[in-house]
Amino acid sequence: MNKRILLIIGGGIAAYKSLFLIRLLAKRGIATRVILTRGGSEFVTPLSAGSLSGERVFSDLWDLTAESEMGHIELSRSADLVVVAPATADLMAKAAHGIANDLASTTLLATDKRVLYVPAMNVRMWEAPATQRNVKTLMDDGQYILGPDAGSMACGEYGPGRMSEPESIADAIENLLSASQSIDAPQPLKGRHVLITAGPTREPIDPVRYLSNHSSGKQGYAIASACRALGATVTLVSGPVNIAPPVGVNLVAVETARDMLSACEGALPADVFISVAAVADWRAKDTGANKIKKDKDGLPQLDLVENPDILKTLSKAESRPSLVIGFAAETNDVIDHAKAKLARKGCNWIIANDVSGDVMGGDENAMIVVKPDSVTEWPRQSKMDAAKALANLIAEHLS
């Protein structure tokens, strides 16, 4: 790929993962320069980082040799992308507020490149309102956040706070470098908040069974990525899927339709709401505490009740987004069903698609944009290309 990143290693036990990251990137043809913070040097050594990167490791803002050539400026601009991993609460707070009192923070303030932050910290620190405000500020400034993952941590607690694995970070870096753009490139959705739902929901029947569908989440995730690339702040409320979240997107993971509605209402206000998720229409009226056993007298009775209508609810909400877009996954009479859904739900547009083939779980889609006064059929294309076309249409509508 012949690209170079600047890797800032913050202070945390997850710093050891950054050494694996350097090796992975080298195998992909991506060179790495390293800034090792004082805290980072408590966990990894300049010798180990330098040996793996093949370059000198930088740590001191007051290195007279480097600073005589304005080293922090050169470091911040000679790379194609700046990556902070692990990104501690302290580093992100400094970056969000423009504090520059060491080499890492000074470099982050001086750079004209995109920055990818890979957080790693205690779950309470991650969930603290101050940290969440700082993350939002960085994203609003056009920077990217990857993770954190949920799991057991070195501090003994469990929850979101673990640094993403090196393979996921390397994938994100490669994707950002492949789609890199100047910091001055047009971002027509900058300053806009786009709320998106994706994937299926799971409605429990008992502790081991649930009602769901075949949605893979690929289309919703692609739309989230496309909107983020145009500068939007994106909140992605997702049911259970097996794909990595787009870089720079605020992911809210949910299970049930009621969870999804609550998360969407909690994410308002937003400028745009795109309801891509394949939400289960029904759920079991009663969820057993124990597994339902086979009964020799016949099949068990399963009483169903209707789930909340997320698209209709947000279309009529007091803090309704100015543009509300629903998806209609149909197997027959696609346009007729989409027009009826548009009128019934109260949204602005419906994106209809025929899912009778391999669309749910596949990599391609043929969208039909249904508006109150028009119907536009797009050709079958990759879900990412379809997502980019929709993101551009949204930007044009809001301009």
Q: Give the 3-state DSSP-derived string for the chain, with helices as H, strands as E and coil as C.
A: CCEEEEEEECCCCCHHHHHHHHHHHHHCCEEEEEEECCCHHHCCCHHHHHHHHCCCEECCCCCHHHHCCCHHHHHHHHCCEEEEEEECHHHHHHHHHCCCCCHHHHHHHHCCCCEEEEECCCHHHHHCHHHHHHHHHHHHCCCEECCCEEEECCCCCEEEEECCCHHHHHHHHHHHHHCCCCCCCCCCCCCCEEEEEECECCEEEECCEEECCCCCCHHHHHHHHHHHHCCCEEEEEECCCCCCCCCCCEEEECCCHHHHHHHHHHHCCCCEEEECCECCCEEECCCCCCCCCCECCECCCCCEEECCCHHHHHHCCCCCCCEEEEEEEECCCHHHHHHHHHHHHCCCEEEEEECCCCCCCCCEECCEEEECCEEEECCCEEHHHHHHHHHHHHHHHHC
Domain count, the chain: 2
Predicted local distance difference test score (pLDDT) of residue 180:
55
For 254-276, how does the pLDDT look when each residue is reduced to its tens digit (9 = 90+)?
Answer: 999 999 999 999 999 999 999 99
Q: 102 in a domain, yes or no?
A: yes
Cα-based distances in Å from 249 to 226, 295, 384 = 11, 47, 16
For 15-55, how does the pLDDT look when each residue is reduced to its tens digit (9 = 90+)?
Answer: 999 999 999 999 888 999 999 999 998 899 999 999 888 88
Indicate if 172 and 199 belong to the same structural domain: no
Q: 183 in a domain, yes or no?
A: no
Whole-model pTM? 0.64
Distance, CA of 168 to CA of 212 (rounded, Å): 27
Identify the band that residue 182 occupies on the pLDDT scale cut at 50, 70 and 90. Answer: very low
Domain that holds residue 66: 3-178
CATH at residue 89: 3.40.50.1950
Distance, CA of 392 to CA of 67 (rounded, Å): 43
Indicate if 204 and 172 belong to the same structural domain: no
Question: Is 227 considered catalytic here?
Answer: no
Identify the band that residue 250 occupies on the pLDDT scale cut at 50, 70 and 90. Answer: confident
Higher per-residue confidence, 227 vs 247: 227
Indicate if 387 and 295 belong to the same structural domain: yes
Distance, CA of 236 to CA of 344 (rounded, Å): 25
CATH at residue 310: 3.40.50.10300
Q: 184 in a domain, yes or no?
A: no
Q: 350 in a domain, yes or no?
A: yes
Q: Is the dihedral of CA 89, 90, 96, 97 positive or negative?
A: positive
Q: 310 in a domain, yes or no?
A: yes
Mean pLDDT of the chain: 86
Tell whether the model's pLDDT for residue 79 goes beyond 50: yes
pLDDT mean over 281-290? 83
Predicted local distance difference test score (pLDDT) of residue 265:
95
Q: How far is CA 92 from the centre of its chain?
A: 18
| Span of 89-93, 141-145, 245-249, 388-392 with lowest mean pLDDT | 245-249
Q: 186 in a domain, yes or no?
A: no
Indicate if 202 and 112 belong to the same structural domain: no
Q: 188 in a domain, yes or no?
A: no
Residue 226 near residue 272, CB atoms below 8 Å: no
Predicted local distance difference test score (pLDDT) of residue 70:
47
Indicate if 118 and 247 belong to the same structural domain: no
Given 155, 227, 264, 347, the catalytic residue: 155
CB atoms within 10 A of CB 129: 7
